């Protein structure tokens, strides 16, 4: 049994990480300020975890959370390209200053390893598909830049202080618990929210832009492997399924699963958006022993089922 701290542990990905750690009988501490995370996401394990309410921008809140911890899974962030374009200052404060605070607290508490939730947005529109970790980072948005800066801080803390870090570049993670009502959520949950409200989803651009949609269970497996696999220390590792789907294909699959024929509205491309991206996961396979177990269609079906249950239980909109 090991002791883990999951920052942003009440959020979408973080809460899935927490549940799996509890299932594996580890001790889990969660740090969240509940700005986007929800207590309902932790309902199934609430009595089996230690909950710390606090913001990663406050170093004094993080320090006691790191005491006695062996592994930190750093999921807390202010996500969304759009939000960062509209408010780069807050994205900078949370994603850069907050990450630095987590690293300082982990270093001082002698944590074994920090796993940093990076982003495929780091690649920008650089040449070459699939995206390989050795490609140069070319961030197109403040959000992407904050994630690249977080990576650099991780690398510096490993090199300078000997704190083990692993950087995982997540590719378009989706699944249950993504916010169906937020304009800053992932595209699948945004589309699903529109469908279930009887609204017309919007595609920004021609719809041929490609994404590596990765079901959340795959991301959790890679994340937990990254905590303990010795060879992962100091590495930047893609987490995806290794294949791309266009937004037009996504709409077709949703129509099939939902049994409807809604046609999306088209709008101009948004600033900061990457056109196409999918992952080369060779390094994740060789270093982590990672293999995505849930494919795109199966993950989409599970996400649709969960989304429909939310309408039944509490409604959306």
Catalytic positions, written as ranges: 143
CA atoms within 13 A on the CB side of 84: 25
- How large is the greatest C-alpha to C-alpha distance in the chain, in angstroms? 56
- List beta partners, residue 6: 30, 73
User: CB neighbours (10 Å) of residue 267?
Assistant: 10
Contact 287, 231 (CB under 8 A): yes
Q: What is the DSSP string of 9-25?
A: TTSHHHHHHHHHHHHTT
Beta-sheet strand order (sheet of 50-53): 50-53, 27-32, 3-7, 71-74, 113-119, 164-170, 236-239
H/E element, 255:
helix 247-258
């Amino acid at each position: 049994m090991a002791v883990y701290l999951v920052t942003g542990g009440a959020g979408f990905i973080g809460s899935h990480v927490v549940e799996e750690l509890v299932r594996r009988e580890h001790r889990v501490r969660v740090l969240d300020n509940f700005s986007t995370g929800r207590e309902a996401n932790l309902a199934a394990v609430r009595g089996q975890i230690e909950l710390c309410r606090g913001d990663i921008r406050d170093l004094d809140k993080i320090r006691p959370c790191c005491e006695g911890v062996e592994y930190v899974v750093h999921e807390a962030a202010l996500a969304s390209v759009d939000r960062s374009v509209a408010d780069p200052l807050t994205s900078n404060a949370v994603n850069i200053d907050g990450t630095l605070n987590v690293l300082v607290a982990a270093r001082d508490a002698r944590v074994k390893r920090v796993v940093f939730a990076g982003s495929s947005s780091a690649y920008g529109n650089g040449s070459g598909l699939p995206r390989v970790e050795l490609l140069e980072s070319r961030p197109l948005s403040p959000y992407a830049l904050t994630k690249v800066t977080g990576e650099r801080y991780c690398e510096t803390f490993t090199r300078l202080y000997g704190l083990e870090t692993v950087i995982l570049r997540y590719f378009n993670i989706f699944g249950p618990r993504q916010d169906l009502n937020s304009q800053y959520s992932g595209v699948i949950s945004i589309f699903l929210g529109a469908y279930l409200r009887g609204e017309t989803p919007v595609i920004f651009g021609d719809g041929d832009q490609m994404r590596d949609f990765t079901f959340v269970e795959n991301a959790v497996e890679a994340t937990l492997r990254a905590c303990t696999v010795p060879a992962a220390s100091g590495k930047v590792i893609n987490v995806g399924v290794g294949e791309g789907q266009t937004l037009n294909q996504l709409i077709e699959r949703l129509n099939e699963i939902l049994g409807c024929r809604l046609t999306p509205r088209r709008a101009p491309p948004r600033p900061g958006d990457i056109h196409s991206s999918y992952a080369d996961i060779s390094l994740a396979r060789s270093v982590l022993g990672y293999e995505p177990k849930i494919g795109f269609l199966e993950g989409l079906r599970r996400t649709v089922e969960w989304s429909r249950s939310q309408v039944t239980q509490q409604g959306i909109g």
